[in-house]
Structure 1
Amino acid sequence: MTLPVGAAVVLGRRTRVAGGGSALLGGTPTRLMRLTPRARALLDGRTLRVTSDAAALLADRLLESGMAEPVVDTLPPPDDARCTYVVPVRDRPGALDRLLTSIGDGQEVIVVDDASRDGAAIAIVAVRHGARVVRLEVNRGPGGARNAGIAAATTPFVVLVDSDIVLEPDTVPTLLRHFADPRVAMAAPRIAGLGDRSSWLGRYEDTRSSLDLGPHPAALRPRSPFAWVSTACVVARRAALADGFDGDLRVGEDVDLGWRLFDAGWRIRYEPSVLARHEHREAPLDWFMRKVVYGSAAHGLAERHPENIAPAAFAPWAVVVVLALLAQRRWSAPVAAAASLVTAGRIAQRLRPVDGALRQGLVLTANGVVAAVAQTMSLLLRHWWPVSLLACLVSRRARRAVAAAAVADVLLEYRRDAAHLDPVRFALARRLDDVAYGAGVWTSALRARSLASLKPAVVRSAGDAGHRR
C-alpha cells in the first residue's frame, strides 16, 4: 500500500543531501540512507514524484523514516470522501452555534451532549443547524463523548472537532487529501487563535498556545519534537478508531490515542497549511488552571506509555555535556567540548565514506548540544521547577543556572514568536505557563506516589532525543 501515481513528497527541512546525492541524512531518529543510482535518478532536486512502483516504494520509505513530507496539493481526495462531524459539547450553546455555522449546511453532524446542565439549549442549536443529537445522561469527558459520536457515525471518515473551534472552508477538504496514503489514520490542522485579543494573556496564547504545533508539517512520532497531536480538531479514518479513546482519561486522551495508533503501524499527519481557529482561554485564573490540567495528564500517560513520557531524553554523551556545564567549574567547558568532539568523530566515522563526513558529524553534534541544553532549560523551568526553587535557596550555582535558563528562554522565544507582546509581559506569561504546567505534573505524580513522569530518559541514539510537550 503506497501513495498513488502523481503524488509527490519533498525532503524535510532537516534532511541533508550528502555525498553528492548518494545519501540522505535526516529523519527521526537521525539516520543515513544510502541511495542507489536508480533511486538517485528518481529525485528531482528535493522532490520525488510517484511515477512508478519503485518511486512509490522510495516515497513510502522516506515518509516512514521522517525524511520527507507529502506535498498535499498533489494528493488526490479519497474516492469516498464522506465524513461525519463529531462535536462533543457540554453547555456552551453560543460556541456550538458558532462552530456549526462554520461547518455549513449539508454536512453530516453528530452533536454529543455530554450531560449538559441545559440540554435543551444544546438541542435547539443543533436542530437549527440540522445536526443529530446524541445525549449522554452521565458526563463521560471528551474522550468518552467522542467515542459515542464515532460509534454513531457510518461514514468512512469522521471529523472530531470541539465546540470552541471555528473551521475554515478549506481545512477539512485539504486534510482529507492525506488519506491518499492508506497508512494515514488521522490528519490535523494547525490550531490558531481567533485573533483580535485585547488582553496580554490572550495575545500570549495566540503565539504560544499549547495546541499550536508550529508552521512546519510533520508526522507524529513519540519521543520526537512532534510527539502528539490535539484532537480538538482532526480528520480520522473511522476504521482506524476501532478502539477509540481511553474513556478513563479525562485529559491526555488525545496523546494516548496518537501513541496507540503509532504503535499499531498507523501514520498521523500534521498539516499547518490549513487552520482551525480556537477560542483560547485568557481570563488569568481560567488560563492558569487549564495549564495545570494539561500537566496533570503526565501520570496517566506514564502508566500507559512509560517508554514515551519522559520529560527529556538525552544521549549518554549529552548527559556528560549537560552535567559538566551545570557544574560551572573551570573544567566544565573543556570537558563539554571534549565529549562533543569525541561524539562528532564517532558520527563522522559512521558516515564515511560520504563526502564531508566530519563536517556533518560536527553539525549533528552541535544540534545535539543545542537540543540537550534546551531540554535542560525546560527541566529547570517547567518540569522540575519546585526542585529548582529549593536548590536556588541554598546554591549560588543553581541560582545562576536557573537565571541563565530563564533569560535565554525569553530571548529565544520572544524573538521568534512574540511580535504583539512586550518582553516583560511575555516573560511573565512564560514563567506562569511553566509553573502551572509543572504544578500539574507534580500534583498528579504525588497523588499517584510515582515520579515516573518526571524522570528523564537516557537513549542510545542522539537522534532519539527531542523536546517534550
Structure 2
Amino acid sequence: MSLPRIGVVIVTMGTRPRELEALLASVEKQDVPPATVVLVGNATPLTEIARGVTKIPLEENLGCPGGRNVGLKMLRDSGKVDVVVELDDDGLLIADDVFRKVQQLFAEDPKLGIIGFRVADEHGNTERRWVPRLRADDPMRRGPVTAFLGGGHALSMPMLRQIGLWPAEFFFGHEESDLAWRALDAGWEILYEPTLVLQHPKTSPARHAVYYRFTARNRVWLARRRLPIPLIPVYLSVWILLAMMRMRSLTGLKAWWSGFIEGSREPCGPRKPMQWRTVWRMTRLGRPPIL
C-alpha cells in the first residue's frame, strides 16, 4: 500500500506572528515530514518568516478561500502532493503523528475526499459549533459527515482536480459548505476524525467586522449555486428564521439583511445544483441540505 505525499497550506495576514511561529514548529515536529509547506501571505510580505517554507506574499487580501487557492494551485501544478493539509494560522498541532494518520486514512480508502479534524481549545474542550453534525453532543464520535471545519482538515488532490478548488468569491464564510457539497455530489466521502486534533483558541466568528454580511450573502450564493430549485426557498427560510432568533445586535441585523440582499442580486458564480441522490445521501447521513 503506497502512502500519499502530504503538502501543507497555511494562509496568514501577518497579524498572529507568535501563533504562526508555534504552528510552523508543530508542523516541523510531525513524524512524517510534508513534501512541501506553502505559506500564503494575504496582503502581507512574510519578511519576518525565517523557517524553510515556500512563501507566497500577495499584494492584496484574497480572503481565506482565495488565499488557499493560491497555495493549492502551486501544489497541484507541482505534481508532488497527493493530500493537502490546510491549517488556520492560529491553530496548533498538539500531536506529532497527525500527518502519519492522515496518510494511512487516505491510503486505506480511495474514495476519501476530505478529513475533518477535531478542533479543541487549550483545555481540550470542543464546542458544539465545532462538531460537523447536527447531533453534536459527543465530539469524539467518528464517522462519515456532510461538512467539515475550515480550521484544520485534509483534502485529496485527485478530488480537487475533479471538483475544483475553493469558491474564492465567497471571501469569508460557508466556503467549506460549497466544497463539501461538491465533493459529496461527485461521490467522495467526508470523514470526521476526532483523534486528529487542531488546538484553536475559543473565539467567536462574529469578531470579524464582515461576519454578518458575508454569512448572509454566502448562504444565498450557496443555495443559488448548489441546491435544486425546490429546496432554495426552504433552505433560505430556515436560515432566515435561525438568524433572526440568534441575532443580538441591531448593527448585526442591518449587516445581515444587507448581505442577504447582496446575495440575491449579485452574480454568485456558475450554478451546478447537486443531484437528488446527493440530497438523499446527505439526509441519510443526518443533515439534509436545508439545515
Cα distance between partner residues in 1 of 2:102 and 2:59: 33
Partner of 1:175: 102
Q: Work out whether residues 93 and 198 of structure 2, in 8 Å CA contact, stay in contact via their aligned partners in 1.
A: yes
Q: Tell me: CA distance 1:293–1:94, structure 2 relative to 1, closer, same or farther (3 Å).
A: farther
Q: Tell me: CA distance 1:290–1:102, structure 2 relative to 1, closer, same or farther (3 Å).
A: farther
What TM-score, normalized by structure 1, do the two folds share? 0.47
Cα distance between partner residues in 1 of 2:204 and 2:256: 21
Cα distance between partner residues in 1 of 2:211 and 2:264: 23
Partner of 1:269: 191
Partner of 1:184: 112
Q: Cα offset for 1:176? A: 2.7
5 Å matches for 1:99-114?
99-105=23-29, 106-107=33-34, 108-114=36-42
Cα distance between partner residues in 2 of 1:134 and 1:100: 15
Partner of 1:354: none
2:62 to 119, 140, 154: 140
Q: Cα offset for 1:99? A: 0.9
Cα distance between partner residues in 2 of 1:101 and 1:275: 16
Greater share of helix = 1
Q: Work out whether residues 298 and 441 of structure 1, in 8 Å CA contact, stay in contact via their aligned partners in 2.
A: no
1:301 aligns with 2:222: yes
- Overall identity of the aligned pairs, in %: 21
Q: Work out whether residues 111 and 188 of structure 2, in 8 Å CA contact, stay in contact via their aligned partners in 1.
A: yes
1:383 aligns with 2:198: no
- Residue deviations 1:340-396 (CA, integer Å, cap 9, x gap): xxxxxxxxxxxxxxxxxxxxxxxxxxxxxxxxxxx98x875x2343xxxxxxxxxxx
Cα distance between partner residues in 2 of 1:437 and 1:188: 29
Q: Cα offset for 1:163? A: 0.6
- Residue deviations 1:285-337 (CA, integer Å, cap 9, x gap): 72796466444421121121133666669xxxxxxxxxxxxxxxxxxxxxxxx
The residue type paired with residue 207 of structure 2 is D
Residue 18 of structure 2 aligns to a residue whose secondary structure is helix
Cα distance between partner residues in 2 of 1:275 and 1:435: 36
2:261 to 427, 435, 446: 446
Residue 187 of structure 1 aligns to a residue whose secondary structure is strand
Residue 280 of structure 1 aligns to a residue whose secondary structure is coil
Cα distance between partner residues in 2 of 1:230 and 1:435: 28
Q: Tell me: CA distance 1:303–1:144, structure 2 relative to 1, closer, same or farther (3 Å).
A: same
Q: Tell me: CA distance 1:438–1:181, structure 2 relative to 1, closer, same or farther (3 Å).
A: farther
Residue 150 of structure 1 aligns to a residue whose secondary structure is helix
The residue type paired with residue 90 of structure 2 is D
Cα distance between partner residues in 1 of 2:255 and 2:14: 25
Q: Work out whether residues 383 and 434 of structure 1, in 8 Å CA contact, stay in contact via their aligned partners in 2.
A: no
1:166 to 92, 110, 113: 92
1:79 aligns with 2:6: no
Q: Which has the higher contact order (CA 8 A, sep 6+)?
A: 2
Q: Work out whether residues 112 and 145 of structure 1, in 8 Å CA contact, stay in contact via their aligned partners in 2.
A: yes
Q: Cα offset for 1:264? A: 1.4
Cα distance between partner residues in 2 of 1:264 and 1:132: 31
- Residue deviations 1:46-86 (CA, integer Å, cap 9, x gap): xxxxxxxxxxxxxxxxxxxxxxxxxxxxxxxx613321111
Q: Cα offset for 1:157? A: 1.4
Please, which runs of 5 or more residues in structure 1 have no aligned partner? 1-77, 197-202, 221-226, 314-374, 386-430, 451-458
Q: CA RMSD of the aligned region, Å?
A: 3.6
- Residue deviations 1:423-463 (CA, integer Å, cap 9, x gap): xxxxxxxx56799998765442233447xxxxxxxx999x6
Residue 127 of structure 2 aligns to a residue whose secondary structure is helix
Partner of 1:94: 18
Q: Cα offset for 1:187? A: 0.9
Residue 248 of structure 1 aligns to a residue whose secondary structure is helix
Q: Cα offset for 1:100? A: 0.6
The residue type paired with residue 164 of structure 1 is D
Q: Cα offset for 1:174? A: 2.1
What TM-score, normalized by structure 2, do the two folds share? 0.72
Q: Tell me: CA distance 1:89–1:159, structure 2 relative to 1, closer, same or farther (3 Å).
A: same
Q: Tell me: CA distance 1:434–1:151, structure 2 relative to 1, closer, same or farther (3 Å).
A: same
